[in-house]
Amino acid sequence: MASRPQPIPPVEVAGRRCRVLIVDDSVVARLVIGHLLAEDGRFEIVGEATGADRALAYLAQGSCDIILLDIEMPGMCGLEALPLLREASDAAILVLSSHCSHGAEASIRAMTLGATDTLLKPATRNLSGDFARRLTGIMGRIAEARYPAGSAERSAVPFPNAPDSPARPVRCLAIGASTGGVHAMIEFLQALPPAIEMPILVTQHLPPAFIEPFANQMELATGRPFAPARDGQVIAPGQVLVAPGDAHMTVEQDGDVNRIRFRRYKAASGCMPSVDPMLDSVAGVYGSDCAGVILSGMGRDGAEGGRALADKGGDLLVQDQHSAVVWGMPGTVARQGIARFVADPARLARYVARRAGANGWG
């Protein structure tokens, strides 16, 4: 087994710093990234690894809060290593790679495998300036969302135990997610029996260029027919429709059918697309015959729409703190006391399956 990489002495600052492990075969990239993070002051470089095997060796003995992971490395590539790193640590994993260009399938693939986020790594000579600002910005947001007020511990929040799930229709299932939510969504949908065919609407915070590759990768990962939603299309059982990156996906009743409608107003959360308009409209059309699921993500998107759904009698289900990469969105809903059930994605899926027995599914 490879020896444990030696930590770089951190810059001393007041308060707790976010502990970072850099996994990159380029000595220059490690040096430059380590230097700019140390200069930032919020981060402590606890280790460097030239490849996935050395990163796993480090994690067998040490710990960190964020792993910066390259994709293209000798031996095991970053994508192959992602599931192993997730098993070895609960750290957030930020993939930095020249393969993660805007809309690149490598970015979506990384997130389906458990990466918290991805960022395009430019040529070595450009590892400063705009890249440095974007890197420290993303890392700062991840650290603040995972460890509020500089604490490494996640505070305990009481949440309901698994409730009785009386069989009643689920005519629509709406899922909202953001940072860290892609892998959670896969876990949820893989645990949902294939025979359950209610329409599923998905709002995942992604830019427009990512939507089609996201749908393609999710279809491969879950075996369900994912597709980018179309404005005005009729909602039918068996579909998984994904919100566009530049509009809110809402539902509108049109005679005997329900249709997708895109809206582009500014949502209270500031997100585009936003989970709130989706949940609010689903509640308005389907009433108590719907369920909403809030998975890992930063911020509070889904809190207002979730309350509307709960007020209409729909079941609001929330990913728990232990399994979520970032407990911002789900945590906000859980603290309001409006969730029917708070649990890991697989248990949430089993709850939906039990309830949907009224439809004759599963």
Q: What pLDDT does 83 receive?
A: 95
Catalytic center residues: 178, 205, 301
Q: Which domains does the chain have, with CATH numbers?
A: 18-150 (3.40.50.2300), 172-359 (3.40.50.180)
- Categorize the per-residue pLDDT at 4 as very low, low, confident or very high, splitting at 50, 70 and 90: very low
Task: Taking each helix axis as running N to C, give the angle between helix 275-286 and helix 303-311, from 0 to 180 degrees, rounded to the nearest 10.
Answer: 10
Q: What pLDDT does 159 receive?
A: 56
Q: What pLDDT does 101 receive?
A: 65
Could you read off the pLDDT of 130-171 as tens digits, one per residue? 888 999 999 998 888 876 553 333 444 555 666 665 678 899
Q: Check residue 104 and report its DSSP letter.
A: -
Q: What pLDDT does 113 receive?
A: 93
- Categorize the per-residue pLDDT at 100 as very low, low, confident or very high, splitting at 50, 70 and 90: confident
Q: What pLDDT does 98 receive?
A: 79
Percent of the chain clearing pLDDT 70 (strictly above): 87
Choose the weakest-confidence range: 114-128, 174-188, 203-217, 220-234: 114-128
Q: What pLDDT does 11 receive?
A: 32
Report the alpha-carbon distance of residue 134 to residue 139 in Å, rounded: 9
- For CA atoms 156, 162, 163, 165, the dihedral sign is positive
User: What is the model's pTM?
Assistant: 0.88
Pairing between strand 248-254 and 257-263? antiparallel
Mean per-residue pLDDT of the chain: 88
Contact 21, 54 (CB under 8 A): no
Instruction: Provide the 3-class DSSP secondary structure of residue 237.
Output: coil
Paired with 240 in beta bridges are 200, 226
Half-sphere exposure of 43 (CA within 13 A, CB side): 29
Could you read off the pLDDT of 55-93 as tens digits, one per residue? 999 999 999 999 999 999 999 999 999 999 999 999 999
Q: What pLDDT does 1 receive?
A: 42
pLDDT for 260 beyond 70: yes
pLDDT for 251 beyond 60: yes
Could you read off the pLDDT of 264-295 as tens digits, one per residue? 999 999 999 999 999 999 999 999 999 999 99
pLDDT for 95 beyond 80: yes
Rounded average pLDDT over 318-331 = 93
Choose the weakest-confidence range: 12-26, 44-58, 101-115: 12-26
Q: Check residue 297 and report its DSSP letter.
A: B
Report the alpha-carbon distance of residue 208 to residue 294 in Å, rounded: 21
Q: What pLDDT does 120 receive?
A: 86
DSSP 298-327: SS-TTHHHHHHHHHTTPEEEEE-TTT-S-B
Q: What pLDDT does 47 receive?
A: 95
